[in-house]
């Protein structure tokens, strides 16, 4: 099975599981998604102030060489919650399948966790001490939000959609969002 086939099947599976969630659980996910997007936007803005995009363009995406597993089930849940069209990765590229002619094909607040938190030494060197600490604090907050998603679904969802789909196949088709019913009970108890 090709990476593209795994991607298409994984997206379809997560979409099907997402659509089966209750309206109250979807509403809770949307609140979690808003917090995730705010953190990602903040991290992007810090890099934008030091013109990180230009540095990244000159580098050619050296940090993106193993990006095929960076898009996670959590990232997809955010797309589905907003009814946003899911992009199509180019797995045939030697570098990150999510890079287009103008850089990342995803808007900053939708970029994968690994991508948005990564700050290379060149960019980090341009940040002042306060900006650097702000990045670290926002990264910790973002990690906590991702932890919330994983607790809700009782599954490690940070390893990438392709990995989640392969794990589902190897477990006889176990749902990726397998803890959703338990999560909803925990959600309603709070």
Tens of pLDDT, residues 93-141:
777 888 888 778 899 999 998 888 887 777 888 888 998 898 899 999 9
Residues 51-102 pLDDT 10s:
777 777 777 666 776 677 889 999 999 999 999 999 999 988 777 888 888 7
Q: How crowded is the C-beta side of 156, counted as CA atoms within 13 Å?
A: 5
Angle subtended at Cα 169 by Cα 10 and Cα 147, rounded to the nearest 5 degrees: 65
Query: What is the token pair recorded at 98?
Result: 């999510």
Listed residue (172, 33, 7, 139) closest to 86, CA to CA: 7
At 189, the pLDDT band (50, 70, 90 cuts) reads very low
Q: 99 in helix, strand or coil?
A: strand
Helix (H, G, I), strand (E, B) or coil at 105: coil
What value, to the nearest 5°, has the Cα angle with vertex 62 and ends 139 and 69?
A: 60
Alpha-carbon distance of 94 to 62, in angstroms, equals 11
Question: What pairs with residue 99 in β-bridges?
Answer: 104
pTM of the model: 0.85
Give the separation between CA 186 and CA 96, rounded to whole angstroms.
37
């Amino acid at each position: 099975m090709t990476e593209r086939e795994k991607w298409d099947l994984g997206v379809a599976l997560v979409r099907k599981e997402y659509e089966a969630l209750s309206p109250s659980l979807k509403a809770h996910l949307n609140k979690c998604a808003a917090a995730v997007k705010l953190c990602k936007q903040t991290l992007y803005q810090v890099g934008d102030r030091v013109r990180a995009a230009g540095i990244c363009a000159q580098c050619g995406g050296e940090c993106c060489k193993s990006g095929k597993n960076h898009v996670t089930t959590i990232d997809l849940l955010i797309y589905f919650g907003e009814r946003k069209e899911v992009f199509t990765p180019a797995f045939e590229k030697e570098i990150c399948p999510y890079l287009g002619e103008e850089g990342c094909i995803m808007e900053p607040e939708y970029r994968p966790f690994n991508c948005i938190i990564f700050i290379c030494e060149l960019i980090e060197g341009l940040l002042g001490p306060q900006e650097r600490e702000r990045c670290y604090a926002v990264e910790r907050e973002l990690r906590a939000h991702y932890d919330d998603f994983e607790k809700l679904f009782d599954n490690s969802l940070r390893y990438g959609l392709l990995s989640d789909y392969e794990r589902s196949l190897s477990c006889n088709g176990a749902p990726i969002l397998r803890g959703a019913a338990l999560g909803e009970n925990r959600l309603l108890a709070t």
